[in-house]
Structure 1
């Protein structure tokens, strides 16, 4: 499998699809909302395009070696602003010294600067989490809405109107996702170095856990010092998100509902699996 040529070919195809999606979004005349039917049409193509770009990043990261500096334990210092906020919620008076008050003001100003800072546009490197114990919501049609009335005293309430294909939907988040996808496709090596750094940290943590005999779970720390658990596998097991093809086989006859983005995603998925598992047999 010629990785560089196939990655570049799929990247160009994804950029062409992205331009089509941006053109579809601009059909609303630059408005912050999109009609429901147009919003759903873009979303049906954007999700597999994001999955394919994510897998191209993983395939590009193959062979990149990252030397991480040794992890130094960080001394966690409790924030005075959190303590003051907790005491105020309880209705308690707060009396701070001059040094603590100066530190409290500095923390508040730093929080304001972080809130005003523009958020970086970045494509997620992992597939969304699957929750095996999630209960699926039961769909209730519009006619199933209870209409309680008393004959002779009240009139029967009318059913609510069904959602219209022309209902406006906020497209701010959709625009950010399109911008993040475009930025990732324009600079795949940078995103590949991102993934290589994550993979190096993950492998180091897993090796340390195995040495001490613990479960293979990667612990991390948030900005406030609380422990959280990170993922050790970036991709789903099975069919990629948004795709209609599981294995990549160019010789198999395609069904009528298979789109171009599905073939790109299946090919990118094969490249990513080959990069994550170098000893895996090549079935492309």
Structure 2
């Protein structure tokens, strides 16, 4: 299995899908909201193509917090973004095969100062100035979201289908029910924009993300060697079964698929096979 060539080919395909998603978001943001644009790539030349700008520039972390998208476009982007994130995560795992990381020694815990011991620990303390937290930057998660087999979704009656109980007061004012949700209703897309930016940053720095995953593996192995297996600790970055958002159970090169199978599904199935191969080779070496 030529892993490097396969990783490069799927990486280029994911970049094209990301550019498509950003273009969809920019097109939708132009018609919803108060004139904000869904801008990730800096436009230095108006005549340059969107694809060239996306390949040459980094994703901008500055997003418009008041960004909104129509419901149908928001859901369409989300249906493609979730498998694209899972595919990028698996390409990172495949690229981390063979990387050896040496962790620094653990720092000893500092003992508590004398002022916090004995009776003086109960004395009132003066006010402390808390430093302002730094702005959070969203990064692509290296671990699949865990399954929740015992999660029961809460069933709720939508507002437009609620029972009309007016009571016995004939003089009560009639209040019409709210209309059912429309496909053009604006939805807050700030979180969606952060996820797109995190995916683009991960694809722009695939070797760095592979080093990041190798460090996670080294910390996991050190924790298991020190404490043994602990309930609730993640052992594998991949969850069992079909990858998140994917529609193919396995990768079959050259096979024909029905119309509901998208390009991102084939990329995800191939990336999943590469990641499983890389993890198996590491465990058996």
TM-score between the two structures when normalised by the length of structure 2:
0.77
Determine the C-alpha separation between the residues in 2 that align with 1:135 and 1:73.
43
Alignment partner, residue 64 of structure 2: none
State how many pairs are aligned: 241
Cα deviation code 1:93-113 (max 9, x no counterpart): x843xxxx4xx53xx34x32x
Q: How does 1:11-30 map to 2 (within 5 A)?
A: 11-27=11-27, 28-29=29-30, 30=37
Offset of residue 131 of structure 1 = 2.1
User: Does the alignment pair 1:217 with 2:235?
Assistant: no
Alignment partner, residue 70 of structure 1: 105
Indicate the RMSD between aligned Cα atoms, in angstroms: 2.6
Determine the C-alpha separation between the residues in 2 that align with 1:175 and 1:139.
29
Alignment partner, residue 266 of structure 1: 269
Alignment partner, residue 143 of structure 2: 126
Query: In structure 2, which of residues 162, 166, 170 is the aligned counterpart of residue 149 of structure 1?
Result: 166
Alignment partner, residue 215 of structure 2: 197
In terms of mean alpha carbon deviation, does 232-241 or 143-152 score higher? 143-152
Alignment partner, residue 224 of structure 1: none
Change (3 A) 1:279 1:123: closer
TM-score between the two structures when normalised by the length of structure 1:
0.77
Alignment partner, residue 152 of structure 2: 135
Change (3 A) 1:77 1:262: farther
Determine the C-alpha separation between the residues in 2 that align with 1:76 and 1:136.
46
Unaligned stretches of 5+ residues in structure 1? 81-86, 88-93, 211-215, 219-228
Offset of residue 72 of structure 1 = 2.7
| SS of equivalent to 2:272 | helix
Q: How does 1:1-284 map to 2 (within 5 A)?
A: 1-27=1-27, 28-29=29-30, 30=37, 32-75=67-110, 77=112, 95-96=124-125, 101=126, 105=128, 108-109=129-130, 111-112=131-132, 115=133, 117-138=134-155, 140=157, 144-150=161-167, 153=170, 154=172, 158-210=176-228, 216-217=229-230, 230-278=233-281
